[in-house]
Amino acid sequence: MIDALIIGGGPAGLMAAEVLSAAGHSVVIADSMPTVGRKFLMAGKSGLNLTKAEAKPKFNAAYGGAEEHLTPMLSAFGPDDVVSWAEGLGQDVFTGSTGRIFPKQMKASPLLRAWLARLIGQGVTVNTRWRWTGWDGDAATFETPNGPENITAKTKILAMGGASWKRLGSDGRWAEHLADDVAPFQPANMGFSCDWSAHMTQHFGAAVKGTKLTAGNTTSRGEFIISSKGIEGGGVYTVSSAVRDGAPLVLDLLPDMSVDAIAAKLDGPKGKQSTANLLRKALKLDPVKRAFLNELGRGLEVPLAEKIKALPFPALTPRPIDEAISTAGGVRFDALTNDLMLKSRDGVYCAGEMLDWEAPTGGYLITGCLATGRWAGQAATRRLQTS
């Protein structure tokens, strides 16, 4: 019998393996994909955002309703600790202008290679193409390339991710085996579908910059993209949970100007200028912003200056969950002890995105996975040392 079985080879599972193997315990990782860390690698394709340089209260608040549960874990392993961990794997980092922290190489692959080398050096065994199929008494059961297999371990950690990006292994199928402990999945950090009129076609793929999105009490000054499907990108992801939960989305085309300042520009000498030229010359609205004004402002019976400051989107539909960056829902915190052990199954811990928490992009997702993986790994280590 091995000491620890970890199901899932993403950041949370690998961090749990690191803690347990460093303490001298025998560890086996089982992952359903041909290689581990596939979503981690995909996240790093455009630059691996590990964490964010931000004061702890503000950083922790980004986790919304899960803040109270995650604060102890984030306090034990927060942004500074993520930086030290990455540097310990030989990956120097830098902090961008918005506080986001990246490896200097920008990619995830060098970090993952160094991490796996350390884990293997600590005796960790990695089994790939092993899909968890539930329990047979105390043993975990798997479908493998060689047929069904069972593993019995003194302690187990589940770190199988959420329910988005099926092609990378996060399909949420594990939930059927933990049904009584799981909140329904919902998309998080996702785009929204819009039924555009024909005149928007020419702007598909365009980046929308220098605007502000507001949904309920959440605002975003980030850039977003117009697509044939609707809107997506970092600026939208920041407000996505509020929109998903029913808050109307409002677009401010000139967030650094007041309504009165805009009205004064519009009321200046017009000569023979058309409204379109006035918007372009007096207010410097680019073609994309003017297109939004036309698209969202039709039928809105308010002065033009007020339209520019508060363009309401129609009712928006979240894009499918498999297109989402991450998911809400998963194993509920009330189904877990403070050590992240399932109350329904002694000695089985949960970590990472399969927990019922969500956070915006910007380093929060990876930090949360690392912190919960470490927390579960430490709890499992204590259990092994006292058993």
Contact between 170 and 184 under an 8 Å Cβ cutoff? The reply is no
- Summarised one tens digit per residue, pLDDT across range 299-347 is 888 999 999 999 999 999 999 999 999 999 999 999 999 999 999 999 9
- Segment 364-382 shows an average pLDDT of 97
pLDDT of residue 269: 62
* Interatomic CA distance for residues 317 and 353, integer angstroms: 23
> CA 132 → CA 127, 182, 362, distances in Å?
12, 17, 31
pLDDT surpasses 60 at 272: no
- Summarised one tens digit per residue, pLDDT across range 123-168 is 999 999 999 999 999 999 999 999 999 999 999 999 999 998 888 8
* Interatomic CA distance for residues 278 and 270, integer angstroms: 7
Q: How many CB atoms lie within 10 A of CB 292?
A: 21
* Interatomic CA distance for residues 157 and 162, integer angstroms: 15
- Segment 264-290 shows an average pLDDT of 77
Angle of helix 79-88 relative to helix 364-386, nearest 10 degrees, comes to 80
Q: How many CB atoms lie within 10 A of CB 150?
A: 13
pLDDT cut 90: percent of the chain above it: 83
* Interatomic CA distance for residues 254 and 262, integer angstroms: 9
Contact between 9 and 29 under an 8 Å Cβ cutoff? The reply is yes
Q: Does domain 2-187+325-386 have CATH number 3.50.50.60?
A: yes
- Segment 12-37 shows an average pLDDT of 97
pLDDT of residue 124: 98
3-state secondary structure of 63: coil
Listed residue (55, 47, 20, 35) closest to 384, CA to CA: 20
Question: What's the mean pLDDT when you consider all of the chain?
Answer: 93
- Segment 2-29 shows an average pLDDT of 98
pLDDT of residue 170: 86
Rg of the chain over Cα atoms, rounded to whole angstroms, equals 24
Q: What angle do CA 133, 134, 139 make, to 5 degrees?
A: 115
- Summarised one tens digit per residue, pLDDT across range 44-65 is 677 889 999 999 999 999 999 9
- Summarised one tens digit per residue, pLDDT across range 219-261 is 999 999 999 999 999 999 999 999 999 999 999 999 999 999 9
The pLDDT confidence band at residue 273, using thresholds 50, 70 and 90, is low
pLDDT surpasses 60 at 365: yes
- Segment 208-227 shows an average pLDDT of 94
pLDDT surpasses 70 at 85: yes
pLDDT surpasses 80 at 367: yes
Question: What's the pTM?
Answer: 0.91
pLDDT of residue 270: 59
pLDDT of residue 279: 80
Contact between 193 and 229 under an 8 Å Cβ cutoff? The reply is yes
pLDDT of residue 268: 66
* Interatomic CA distance for residues 212 and 290, integer angstroms: 15
Is 337 exposed, middle or buried, given 0-12, 13-18 or 19+ CB atoms closer than 10 A?
A: exposed
pLDDT of residue 283: 84
One-letter amino acid of 241: S
pLDDT of residue 166: 85
pLDDT of residue 51: 95
Indicate the domain borders of the chain: 2-187+325-386, 192-318
Scanning the chain, the segments in alpha helix (DSSP H) are: 11-22, 38-43, 56-61, 67-76, 79-88, 109-121, 234-244, 259-266, 275-281, 287-297, 304-309, 364-386
The DSSP result for 181-243, as a single string, is GEEEEEEES--EE----GGGGGGTT-EE-S-EEEETTEEE---EEE-SSEEESHHHHHHHHHH
- Any bridge partners for residue 212, and if so which? 252
pLDDT cut 70: percent of the chain above it: 98
Is 174 exposed, middle or buried, given 0-12, 13-18 or 19+ CB atoms closer than 10 A?
A: buried
Contact between 357 and 378 under an 8 Å Cβ cutoff? The reply is no
Listed residue (47, 44, 42) closest to 94, CA to CA: 47
Say which residue, 78 or 271, is predicted with more confidence: 78
